[in-house]
Structure 1
Amino acid sequence: MSDFLSKFNGENYQEWVDEKDQKKEPKNPPQKETATTEKEVVETPKKEQAEPKNEAAKATKKDVAKKTADASQTTKSKQEQKPAVPDTAPKKNASVHPTNRAQVKQEQKTATPVTATKRASTEETEIDPTYQKKKKRKRILIGAGTALLCIILYVIYYNSVHVAMPDFTDKPVTDVTKWATKNKIELDLKQEFSTETDENVVISQEVAKNKKVKKGKTVSFTVSKGADPEEILKLPDFSKMDKGSVEKWIDENKANGMKVVLEFNDEIAKNKVIKFEIKDPNIVAAEYKRKDYATVYVSKGKEVFEKDISVPDFNGKTKAEVETWAKTNDIKMTYEEADSNEVEVDKIISQSIAANEKVAKHDEMSVTVSLGKAIVVPNFANFTPDEAASVPNLTVRVRKQFHGSVPFGGLIAQTIEPGARLTGKDETEVIVTYSEGAPFLKDYKGQVVGDLPRLFYEDYHSKGADINYTLAYVDSYETKGTVVSMSNFNEYVGMSYLVTISISKGNLDQPAGYSPKGKESLGDLEEE
């Protein structure tokens, strides 16, 4: 490389030009030329042939031209002395002694202008004084272009394997997965509870916004699981809140199990809370968790409807027809009942709002439904017990009982009042009670003590008299357990009375010839 560059220094430049000219000469042997008075011109290589390829050839073209002219003058002088210059160049493969190499080289240098002289004619040498500057500028431009191309290629490659990180904060996690799939990014999704960020929304990201991420890299994101469903919430007093404050509380506390239900209410003002209910009755307010279901009922105020519903004529219509109409038009219908000798059972007798009048939804009205022909209950005080039992269309049960003030045979009571109108839906059984006067205490001597409860019930208790007894056991030759005496008998007593009854022990021997004669003989024995 150093040999090549040395050709462009001041001494070797002309030699290099002459060698190139010799290579371009035809192979025919040169004709002998004698020195004449012709004007000899030494040809300088053309601009494109003499263009140096090394920084060592940066000498000014004026110096080169001067040296070339000097070399031509020297050659001319030698030619005048030697008409013909022998070919002293060594042949190919000829051996040259080292001591002669410098001489051969010098001769080649001096011979070069001769060749140039042969080829020269009248051409003139043109020197470009800006050649070196243009050459330098060209090299700078080429270097700058190459560097710029490399930068562009690197940028294209870098952008093809990297992607800018968007800002996914407060964005749905589905946006992250779509972006990661499109750009071949691996995801590491971490979940945590948050009351500030909605469920399945990104809370934070590992890589900052606009930072480049290499494709195939794993990027971490923190995603919200929503509020903790197991957290116990302190419930406010909803009765003092309105619709807006309730909804705000639900949103701030992420009470996902709680909802607001609006309904019309004639008493509670619009947007005021009517009531609060927890769905599970076993959960108390102090233990309410975010996951528990509850409802806050809020008033929509009183519902007002336009009176645009025409009332039909229900007279003679069935109750079922009225019910269908009322349900279809959302009318609050009340059904009253009455007997009728003209209108059949279950048909309408009258209505509270006349036919063709206008009503609105939720308006109230009533109709009277026929129960058919009625049975009028008589006054049983006008009947004897035997006559009362045979009254038609009624089932009459006659009872008798003692009474302290109503005389015997008088009516004490009847279960259905006189004048009552009984219809098909009413009970037609009537119980009438007649008086047997004051209680009459019977004589029970000679009866067995075991029969006394039955006898007192049948004779007194079942008839309303509170007649009771006490027992006294006495020595007697009567059969054991036989009533031998009473403190009172065979007379009227009050409605409440207590009698003492003596019962035989049967511990005495009977007298000779004694024969029981019943109650009469017992009485005689007592007198004796």
Structure 2
Amino acid sequence: MNINFRDKKTIGLMIAAGILILLTATIVAIFFLFPAKKIEIPDFTNKTKAEVETWITENELSLDQVLLAYEYNETIMKDQVLTQSIVGGETLKKDDILTITLSNGSDPDLIVTLPDFKDMTHDQIEAWFTENKFSDVTYEYIPDPKIKKDYFIKSNITETEIRRSTPVLISISVGTESVGIEIAMPDFKDYTKANIQAWGKTNNVTITFKEEASETIASGKVISQDPKSGSTIKTGGKITVTLSTGKGATAIKFDGKTKKDVDAWAKTNNIKISYQETYDNKVANGVVISNTPNSGLMKSGSTMTVKISIGKPNVENYTNKSKDSFNSYIEGLNKKSANLKVVVNEV
């Protein structure tokens, strides 16, 4: 049988169409046999931030799909889950955004009424501050012939109501015991804050605590001490101990980014933002000019200052208005770095 060129072309097209149909059928079969991975959202009740982050990593989810938010809570420990926007057992769809709200611990700025510490012992005072979750209380020990050993002498606070984060210095009597006795400084590396405070109390040494973020040292552990271990200190003296607050957040430069970018980063990393609006002839409205700090580790809950542009100053028409009102207006613009100079021609 003779097949001309046109018939050969027709057969070729039919074969190509058959292959295409076969490929399409194969793809459809694969789609139904091997559907896209379904991600089931667990119930994160009583879970920790670390467990949430592990789940995010294992399921290869982005921070655009899972947002971590923080709220102060008086009963739930820091970094423990409070709520989730999608209940456990549901499937995370492609366009879903899951928000996990974590506890940020007790509110450091909650205002608390102080009791009268007169006639209270060191243990009673320390127990009260612990129960009321104060974060910066230092005790110093002073010889006093009139006040019994271990009893309250004075405080640096004159108000009756203060914030929990307020630095408090409590002076405790050591009676008529002498000071100036030389003692060895221990290595506080494996001490807890309570252990260090107990050592200070026993040896009549005032302890001042500082806090810093650390990539390598766990939260609550000692980063450094001054004087160092192995040296000596005299009773009645003072030492400084720096404690870790954990990994914290690594500050980055936001130059050229938007307020939305800053807010998203701050929410994820539990950092407070203080915005300073300023006029700028080169940087567009709503764009970041600079931020401080812009590198290094930041303690969780600390504040970053961000200078953000509000564009070029737009001077309003003050025709037929007073000179004083115009000067006040210009002064207001210059407070936001408009840097406008006024030349007055009186006619």
What TM-score bracket applies, with the shorter chain setting the length? 0.3 to 0.5
- Higher helix proportion (structure 1 or 2): 1
The alignment's TM-score, normalised by the length of structure 1, stands at: 0.24
The alignment's TM-score, normalised by the length of structure 2, stands at: 0.34
